[in-house]
Structures are given as structure tokens and as C-alpha cells.
Amino acid sequence: MPQSSGQTRIFGFLAINCLNNFKPKYNILNCPEQISFIFESDMPNQLLQYQIAISLIPGIGDVNAKKLISYCGAAEAVFRETKKNLLKIPGMGVATVNAILSQNVLERAEQEMLFIEKNEISTLYFLEKNYPTRLKSCLDSPVMLYYKGNANLNASRVVSVVGTRRSTAYGREVCDQLISDLTSPDLLVVSGLAYGIDTQAHRSSVENNIPTVGILAHGLDRLYPAQNRALSEKMVENGGLLTDFMSATVPDRENFPKRNRIVAGMADALVVVESAKRGGALITANIANSYNRDVFAFPGRVSDTYSEGCNYLIKTNKAALIQNAADIRYLMNWDDVKKPGRQAKLFRELNPEEQQVMEILKNGEPVGIDYIVMQSKLSNSKIAAILLSLEFDGMVSSLPGKMYKAV
């Protein structure tokens, strides 16, 4: 049986054909785990087939796939909806709707399920609990991920390390020192398993017994570059391989920017070790900035080609200058020395709006501010003021990336 990161569920929904205005049943485009009115399914394999298939519809990206699920109530419901109602969904044209109704993608999804079962691959659907929490808060996060490994993708501290494929001896030494010094409880190191800095980051993590996950630009039926196969096998033992591409997908050029968004979205902090003025590392840094992640870069000599990108990020305030792992721990407030915490005010009475926010945060997991706004239906400024007040009173702590959790 294919492994699943959480119990597969199908969302109950009302019949919609009688509605004059076809509206979303759920707003699930951001952090959608909190949805009510659910019932357990006795057909998890069939549901997985639909969850895979929706990402295969021609002309549908991850954003529009989530929109379809939001309007229809579940991935399965998308394929059972009428053409008339599908055409009412914003952004859905005739060609796209015809592709949905043709059901051709279901056969390919069924083939993928056989590959998943044979190779003991875990599937992570974006509505499931074990889907990477940080990535879930990104609007364009993948609907489905395929995972081979044992690392906790929701580790309390996640650092992504990127850099040029043409790494220098200086870059490899800096990267190795960074990883070996980045000792921290429940740490996960993420990179792209490419030549150069990526390989060095993974190798150093393996040597230092730090879980490390490689994000792939192809399916799990192959490995690129092939020279990293032995390394990847060690990573699966303490870490893993993660991709949003199905089997039989080759590492085409256009796949790497898609891969980079996962490297950026999964992280609390992204570190650029070495990079030329142009390249994948800078693309990833720009994506990380768009996700409000903390970005760091090692400076280099102005005459060094593969320090131009890092120097540029620092010069344009797109990355903070760091010299070692201690700088990251300091800037991320990851000092492991326990400091006296602020004691929550005793007998603090919460007003209704504060109670509403605390109810959203009650499970103790980090939650993005956009999700709190969406669930509470309060304004951004109101939520910001409430969170600040609760933080002052020691009831809420703020985390990197505009994330919050109950103390």
C-alpha cells in the first residue's frame, strides 16, 4: 500500500448545481488544514488517484488546482463537476474544462500509484498534516509531493543551503564549516542535490549526522546527477529525497526554477554560499525573499566571479552578511542557551477577538499571519495588533517568516 503522511480525507460538500452563483466552498489557498465538516473515506487509493490527477491537468498549475479544489470541495469532486459550473470558476477556460472532463489524467495517475506502491514512496497532499508547514503557507506550493526518506519535514529549524555548481575550494570549505558548526536541536538541512555547493551541503550534513533532504527537479525513478547516487542513498537513511515531479519526469531546464521554490519555501533561513551574478542560487534567494524568508550570504572578494552574486545580494539588502554559523544562530535568535522567558500574565482575561486568535493557535504548531487573518476574518492591522499584545503578555511567540505559535 502507498504510504500516506496523514489519514486521507474527503471533504463533505453540498450539491451545487442548483446554485445561481458558483462560489468557493472553502478558502484553502493558504494553510488549509483547518476545514470543518469532514468525513472519513473508505477509498483512500481512489482519493489518492484524484489528488495526483488534478496536478496533471494540462494548463493547470498549483494555484489553479487549489482554486478548483476550493470551489468544488475536494479533488475527487473536481472531476465529477458539470462543465457549466466549472466554467464559472475564475480563470477556467473552455480548453481547461474540457481537459478536466476528458478524465485522461486519471489513467496516468493510476500508473503513478503503482510506482509509489512498488517503491514505498510517501505522498504528501497539501491538505495533509505532515505536508511541510512552511511550504504550505506559500501560494504556489505544490498540491502533491513525493517523498522517500525518514526526516521530519517540519523540524523546528530548517536551513536551506544553495550555491553555484562550479564551487571553488573556498566555497566548499566555507560550506563544510557552516554545516559542521550549525549544531542545533531538531535541525534539517535542505538543498537541491546539484553539483557544487548543494553536494557539499548534503555531504557535510551526512558526515555530521544532520538530517538532510534533497529537492529534485525530476521524478524519483532516477537521479541527477548520477554521481550523487551513493550520497543520495545515505541521505535516505537520515534525511530523504523530495520532489513534486512524477516518475518518468526528466530533469529538464524548466524544472529547476520549480524545484527552487520548494528549497526556498521549506526553509526558515536560506544561505547562499557562492554564486555568480546570475544563476539558480540567486533565483532561489529572490523566491525566498518573496516568501518573507530570512536570506543570508557569505561575502567574497570583489574580483571573484563566484562571489559576485553573494556580494550583490548583500549590497542590495536582499541578504544579510554572515561569516559563520554563529551569525545565523544570532540573527535567527537560535541561541540554545536558555534565557528567562517572559511569564504570561496570570488571570489574563481575553476579549472575544483575542480568544478567536488563541483558538486558531491552540494546537501549538507555527501558523502564518495570512492564515490567521483568513480564519478570523479580521483585518491585517487588527490581527497584527492582537498578536503584538498577546506576545507582550507571553502568550504567543513570533517566529521567522511571519509565523506565530502559542507559548
What proportion of the chain, given as a percentage, has pLDDT over 70?
A: 86
C-alpha span between 24 and 72 (Å, rounded) = 7
For 275-284, the pLDDT digits (tens) are 999 999 999 9
Note the pLDDT of residue 25. Answer: 54
Instruction: Say whether both 325 and 369 belong to one domain.
Output: no
Query: Torsions phi, psi of 308, nearest 5?
Result: -60, -40
Note the pLDDT of residue 39. Answer: 34
Instruction: Say whether both 160 and 55 belong to one domain.
Output: no
Domain boundary among 299, 331, 363: 331
Instruction: Say whether both 113 and 138 belong to one domain.
Output: no
C-alpha span between 167 and 261 (Å, rounded) = 22
C-alpha span between 140 and 353 (Å, rounded) = 30
CA–CA distance from 135 to each of 6, 145, 154 (Å)? 17, 11, 10
For residue 258, being part of any structural domain is answered with yes
For residue 160, being part of any structural domain is answered with yes
pLDDT tens digit at each of 407 positions of the chain: 444 443 333 333 333 333 334 555 555 444 444 333 333 344 567 899 999 999 998 888 899 999 999 999 999 999 999 999 999 998 888 988 988 888 789 999 999 999 999 999 999 999 998 899 999 999 999 999 999 999 999 999 999 999 999 999 999 999 999 999 998 889 999 999 999 999 999 999 999 999 999 999 999 999 999 999 999 999 999 999 999 999 999 999 999 999 999 999 999 999 999 999 999 999 999 999 999 999 999 999 999 999 999 999 999 999 999 999 999 999 999 875 444 444 455 446 888 898 899 988 888 788 888 889 888 888 888 888 899 888 888 888 888 777 888 88
Domain boundary among 280, 298, 331: 331
Model confidence, pTM: 0.75
Cell (9 digits) for 26: 472553502
The CATH number covering residue 147 comes to 3.40.50.450
Query: Torsions phi, psi of 120, nearest 5?
Result: 55, 50
Q: How far is CA 113 from the centre of its chain?
A: 22
Instruction: Say whether both 181 and 262 belong to one domain.
Output: yes
Instruction: Say whether both 145 and 246 belong to one domain.
Output: yes
Note the pLDDT of residue 144. Answer: 97
Query: Torsions phi, psi of 215, nearest 5?
Result: -95, 125
H-helix or E-strand spanning residue 159: strand 157-162
C-alpha span between 159 and 175 (Å, rounded) = 12
C-alpha span between 203 and 220 (Å, rounded) = 20
108: closest CA among 247, 292, 244?
Answer: 247
Instruction: Say whether both 46 and 160 belong to one domain.
Output: no
For residue 115, being part of any structural domain is answered with yes
Q: Which structural domain range is residue 394 located in?
A: 352-406
- What domain count does the chain have? 3
Note the pLDDT of residue 23. Answer: 56
Note the pLDDT of residue 41. Answer: 40
